[in-house]
Amino acid sequence: MEYAEKEAEENLTVIEEFILLGFSGLHNLQGFLFGIFLIIYMSILIGNGLIIVITKVDPTLQTPMYFFLGNFSFLEICYTSVTLPRMLTNLWTQNRVISLMACAIQLSFFLILGVTESFLLAVMAYDRYVAICKPLYYPLIMNHKVCVQLVVVSWITGIPAQLVQTYKVISLPFCFNELNHVFCDVPPLLKVACGDTSVQEFSVYAVAVLLGLVPFLSILVFYLKIITTILKLPLVTGRRKAFATCSSHLIVVSLFYRSAIITYMVPKSSKSGIQKFTSLFYTIVTPMFNPVIYSLKNKDVIAALKKLLIKLLA
């Protein structure tokens, strides 16, 4: 028995590169898809870039809420830049090969930035909670030093765990090198791994609960307290104004978490097509609509954008 297992291990082919199948089945639409994803990527860069600029240069937006929004926009640019440029290259050149090392690097950055987004969304919810529930103490609690510390913690919290997660997944023995996905992610990698991957799957669940569910539950708690406080306000106009400051953030939270939960709650799902499109949704579609969501729902952002456009066109 031991000899047979040893011989099987020796016969395993060492996988040094993967093939990202992506949209290879849509032969006649490669050029069209390239154009669509290029437009999406450019809109993400321009839209989120404008948010970063106005939150830095406009005096009326020098508040904690817009400080977090600027950081969130920068995160969205980084997040999409991990996956979209390679997707565009694959569509343009029709060369879908990615080395094991490149796959590991892409996966680690993708996971780390995903955790950063979860924590930054929680920080933004906390900011709204303090602003609405403790308005008199808001300037004291949310001073610049605290804001910077919260952002730094959001960026670095997921690094150790996700580097370990990446190493565990990428060091598995793989039976196949074709990934039915558009980028290197945990679920498609587990599907092509040889033997029992239950330990790695449990690790995915554990990390998802710790680094994904904890920020999500924190957001829920903050918004329960926010809603309770808003309902106690005597004037209807005051309630509307308070809800308006939270609505954009709530939309982004729901878009991000809904698609992420679908993708990661069942890591080794047979529904590769669903995973592929839900992954695209929260890595590409959500960052594209973030500037629109925050601009349309926020008069201060619209006013700042108008001022910036007037300056540029003058």
Note whether residue 12 is domain-resident: no
Enter the DSSP assignment of 209: I
Note whether residue 185 is domain-resident: yes
Largest CA distance in the chain: 80
CB 242 within 8 A of CB 233: yes
Note whether residue 6 is domain-resident: no
Note whether residue 1 is domain-resident: no
pLDDT given for residue 263 in this prediction: 65
Which residues have a Cβ under 8 Å from the Cβ of 135 and sit 6 or more positions away?
A: none
pLDDT given for residue 176 in this prediction: 82
Note whether residue 11 is domain-resident: no
Residue 110 and residue 121: Cα distance in Å, rounded? 17
pLDDT given for residue 302 in this prediction: 82
Encoding tokens for residue 27?
């032969």
Q: Give every residue of the chain whose pLDDT is below 70, as ranges.
A: 1-13, 235-239, 241-242, 244-245, 262-275, 296-297, 314
CB 132 within 8 A of CB 233: no
pLDDT given for residue 285 in this prediction: 78
Handedness of CA 194, 196, 201, 206 (dihedral sign): negative
Note whether residue 81 is domain-resident: yes
Residue 185 and residue 181: Cα distance in Å, rounded? 8
Note whether residue 150 is domain-resident: yes
Residue 303 and residue 91: Cα distance in Å, rounded? 39
CB 54 within 8 A of CB 297: no
Residue whose token pair is 């343009």: 92
Query: Which segments within the chain are labelled E, that is strand?
Result: 17-20, 97-99, 178-179
Encoding tokens for residue 78?
């980084």
Amino acid identity of residue 288, one-letter, is: M
Range of the domain at 47: 17-313
Note whether residue 7 is domain-resident: no
pLDDT given for residue 2 in this prediction: 45
Residues in the chain: 314
Structural domains counted in the chain: 1
Enter the DSSP assignment of 21: -
Three-state SS at 128: helix
Three-state SS at 165: helix
Residue whose token pair is 């996966």: 107
pLDDT given for residue 25 in this prediction: 72
Q: What is the per-residue burial (b if ≥16 Cβ within 10 Å, else e) of 20-45?
A: bbbbeeeeeebeeebeebeebbeebb
Q: Helix, strand, coil % (nearest 5) of the chain? A: 80, 5, 15
Give me the CATH number covering residue 38: 1.20.1070.10
Residue 159: CB atoms within 10 A of its CB come to: 14
CB 185 within 8 A of CB 166: no
Encoding tokens for residue 101?
């090392």
